Structure 1
Amino acid sequence: MQLTEVSIFGLRSVVLVFKHRDSPLRFVLMPVVHMGRPDYYRLLSERLARCQLIVAEMYDGPSSTGLAYVTALRLTRQYRGGPLVHQNIDYEALGVPTVWPDGRILEGRRRRLPLAGWIDLALLVPYLTITMAVGGRDMLMRQNFEISDISEPRMRWALMNRLMLEERDRDLVATVQRIHTERRHEQIDVAVIYGAAHLPAVVRALAGGLGYRPQRGGEWLLAIDF
């Protein structure tokens, strides 16, 4: 089951609805790319607003990874294909209750980039700027952006892989399982919007022990056009 796909035309992500034969609760999976076209995030926000509960990544603020990519694109003047922006969905403005498996930053600072985000920027921007200066915008096509339900994303360093993927995947899956247990008799849509690398674990949990199945005909959204 493909969650994101790359072609000569660009990078797309899918919106998948998972249903259970014995429960009215539905999970709406939104594997997200942390940088993309402005209308990509507008469409995601519209779909989130139609749900009754949101499970979201990190905190209510901008993606440091997406901001690093966009900053490098601007520094190297990679304009072909139209403007790209970093993910910055205002969950509070959606008016939908939101659960943060990763935890959230202090009240009053929801929309600010935390210290860890600034560290990400300091480390990523120089590397990405050099890479794009050499390879141009086409280097995006060479990134590991294609994710399916059987993907096993890995980071370069074992410690980062454990902290950024494995532990966070466990927290995310535990949250999904808890929502199923507590609210399985409610007729609600629960959106799960996370970086695409985290969604294979959720798909396997839903289709495995929880007994959910995806509806046919997921909706594809264009994130980046090459």
Structure 2
Amino acid sequence: MRLAEWSDIGYRTSVRVFQRPAGGLRWVVIPTIHMGHPDYYWAIWQRLRSCQAVVAEQYDGPSSTGYAYVTAMRLARQRAARELVHQDIDYGALGVPIIFPDAHTAPPPEEDRRMPDLGWADVVVQTPGLAIQMALSGRDDWIVRDSLDIDDTTVFEPTPGEAIGPNGLTERDGLLIGVIREIDAAFAGEDIEVAIVFGAAHMPLVVRELTRRLGHLAAAEEAWLTAIDFDEPSYLRKPPLDGWMDW
């Protein structure tokens, strides 16, 4: 089952709904990338409006990792950096319960959802090295050099410094899976949608948990969302005003 894919024209991620054959709780699985066109994050936010709860990554604020990558790409004059922004989904504006399983792994956001000081420090540390790496790899092709196709069978190695717990999972993945199990047990028979919005690298594990352990099936595949489009004219990437968020 393909969850995210690169191609010569850009990067896109899937939106899939999972449900048991008997009905009840529906899981809306939305893999994300931490940088993309503004309308990509707008489309995610719009899809979340029909959900009764959201399980999201770290905190309700902009992504320091996405900001570092976008800034480095612009410094290195990467072609794909045109009009890209860092991930910034206003979960609080949805007015539904938002669960951040790994909230303690990131500093809390400042007032008005501004990036915290530690987030800015992370940007300062990451950006120079990323910019040099991108400049050395080629001005226009850095972002398409790596194959980042992700399927439900994809297994990612822990990043340097990540510890593996007795359950075989990293801390963040363990917290995410734990929350999914709790919600699924408590609301299995409810006619509701709960979304999971995490980085795409976390999602193969999530899909395997839903389908192999919890008994869900892929009930529906919705329209894919294009995060990065190398060729689309900029005027086609402007979303309608209805539901537009203050970026």
Q: What TM-score results when the alignment is normalised by the length of structure 1?
A: 0.90
Q: CA RMSD in A?
A: 2.2
Asked if the contact 2:28–2:193 (Cα under 8 Å) also holds between the matched residues in 1, the reply is: yes
Cα distance between partner residues in 2 of 1:133 and 1:183: 49
CA apart distance, 1:154:
2.3
Pair 106,31 (structure 1): closer, same or farther in 2 beyond 3 Å: closer
Q: Which moved more, 1:213-222 or 1:171-180?
A: 213-222
String of CA shifts for 1:130-184, please: whole Å, max 9, x gaps: 1222222421112353211111122552x23649x72111110110110010111
Q: Which moved more, 1:75-84 or 1:6-15?
A: 75-84
Q: Which moved more, 1:89-98 or 1:37-46?
A: 89-98
Q: 1:123: which partner in 2?
A: 125
CA apart distance, 1:186:
1.0
Q: 2:95: which partner in 1?
A: 95
Q: 2:44: which partner in 1?
A: 44
Alignment of 1:210 with 2:214, yes or no, is yes
Cα distance between partner residues in 2 of 1:124 and 1:155: 19
Equivalent residue pairs, number: 224
Identical pairs, percent: 45
Alignment of 1:148 with 2:151, yes or no, is yes
Unaligned runs of 5+ in 1: none
Name the aligned partner's letter for residue 53 of structure 2: L
Q: 2:183: which partner in 1?
A: 179
Asked if the contact 1:147–1:197 (Cα under 8 Å) also holds between the matched residues in 2, the reply is: yes
Pair 176,52 (structure 1): closer, same or farther in 2 beyond 3 Å: same
Q: What TM-score results when the alignment is normalised by the length of structure 2?
A: 0.83
Cα distance between partner residues in 1 of 2:220 and 2:191: 20
Q: Per residue, is there more strand in 1 or in 2?
A: 1
Q: 2:235: which partner in 1?
A: none
String of CA shifts for 1:24-83, please: whole Å, max 9, x gaps: 110000000100011101100100111111000000001111101111122223355741
**131, 142, 146: which one pairs with 1:139?**
142
Asked if the contact 1:37–1:84 (Cα under 8 Å) also holds between the matched residues in 2, the reply is: yes
Unaligned runs of 5+ in 2: 231-247
- SS across alignment from 1:50: coil
